Amino acid sequence: MPFYRHSFLILAAAFLSACDSNHEPPPPPPSEYRFTEIFTLPAMPVEDQGRSGTCWCFSTSSFLESEILRLTGDSVDLSEMYFVQNAYLLKGQNFILRQGTSRFTEGGSNHDPLFSMPVLGMMPESAYLGKNVGDSVFDHSKMYPELLDSMQIWADPGKKRTAAWKLGLPAILEKYMGKAPETFDYKGTKYSPSSFMAHHGIQPRDYVNITSFIHHPFYKPFILEIPANHLNGEFYNLPLDEYMAVINYALDSGFTLALDTDAIEPGFSPQYGVAMVAADPKNAETVAWKVQPEMADISQQYRQEEFENLRTVDDHNMHIVGKVKDQHGKVYFKVKNSWGEKSCINGFMYMSQPYIRLKSIYVMLHKNGLPADIRAKLGL
């Protein structure tokens, strides 16, 4: 057979195969895990961050919504984008005053809203959606590049500095997100962002970040060296066993926690809705659906090495709201995600305790959610 004819037949067969719906990729193996709920603390419905790098804000907003439910019983859908707008204003000022040497990205930390709330408060999504008319999803794919280009020009120390950025930065945000109101009506009452926050019992000073690393003293606050900590927020440092004890105690006592973790791991599977650490590295991917042993002894030193070698990085924020167990009685944390209800397990990830022990960066919670002995050690 001439070469050209042979090649043609191969290409034709490939084309027909590609067009044949019977040649779709095989479905993934069914999960062997069977989960039952232990408890879920009150939380608002799962939301979708869309095409925005603002998981930190969806995580914190969800956490604050649960705090409002715990404190007042009121179901409030908070405006994530109001917090995002305020964070950009703080990041922008910092970036310019530091002449472009600080971080200016879509990312952030769970405590970012706590920095802005004492002055700028909070508001419900009914008052400020943060989308322009016609937008079906949150999409910052055009806004962020325009912000960054402008910020780099304004921050350039080689150019004559003016105060143009003080008007230019809010103008870009308003162009894509709309203008946030100074006052608004909520359930028949007129509020400002500050009075709305006070009415719902939120005091930013009551919330603390807890982590566990050995390059700083235990039981002391320190500035955690992660890129998202652009505001230089402080984190209280605990030994790993006590760090895990805080998470379990808080949940069992009715307190949810905001979570920063590494979500780019073979054992983190949105497809199956689970996150685990296989005992055998060769099974790092199959552990998501095939029942098998997890890594049993995750030491403080191993956690530190993974962090310092950048094998554990802060790339996703979520909200821990409860616990589930599998058919063998192993307990997992039920973690609310921000990728919509059709993702993961109805929008939730089930994260094993070993995974949190190794791959979480920190948690944020109300100080009353700390065990009394640990709270005393931290001086809170």
List, for residues 259-311, the tens digit of each pLDDT value.
Answer: 999 999 999 999 999 999 999 989 988 999 999 999 988 999 999 999 999 99
Topology, domain 36-378:
Cathepsin B; Chain A (3.90.70)
Among the listed residues 107, 23, 58, the one whose alpha carbon sits nearest the alpha carbon of residue 315: 107
Q: How far apart are CA 349 and CA 352, in angstroms?
A: 10
Q: What is the predicted pLDDT for the residue at 250?
A: 98
Which residues does residue 371 pair with via DSSP β-bridges, in sequence order?
A: none
Q: On the CB side of 327, how many CA atoms lie within 13 Å of its CA?
A: 7
> What's the pTM value of the predicted model, to 2 decimals?
0.91
The amino acid that residue 158 corresponds to is G
CB atoms within 10 A of CB 375: 16
Among the listed residues 168, 196, 209, the one whose alpha carbon sits nearest the alpha carbon of residue 314: 209
What residues in the chain have per-residue pLDDT under 70?
1-25, 133
Q: How far apart are CA 65 and CA 46, in angstroms?
A: 12
Burial of 206 (0-12, 13-18, 19+ CB in 10 A): middle
Residue 18 φ/ψ, nearest 5 degrees: -65, -30
| Secondary structure in 3-state letters for the chain | CCHHHHHHHHHHHHHHHHHCHHHCCCCCCCCCCCCEEEEECCCCCCCECCECCCHHHHHHHHHHHHHHHHHHCCCCCECHHHHHHHHHHHHHHHHHHCCCCCCCCCCCCCCHHHHHHHHHCCCECCCCCCCCCCCCCCECCCHHHHHHHHHHHHHCCCCCCCCCHHHHHHHHHHHHHCCCCCCEEECCEEECHHHHHHHCCCCHHHEEEEECCCCCCCCCEEECCCCCCCCCCEEEECCHHHHHHHHHHHHHCCCCEEEEECCCCCCEECCCCEECCECCHHHCCHHHCCCCCECCCCCHHHHHHHHHCCCCCCCEEEEEEEEEECCCCCEEEEEECCECCCCCECCEEEEEHHHHHHHEEEEEEEHHHCCHHHHHHHCC
Q: How far apart are CA 120 and CA 138, in angstroms?
A: 22
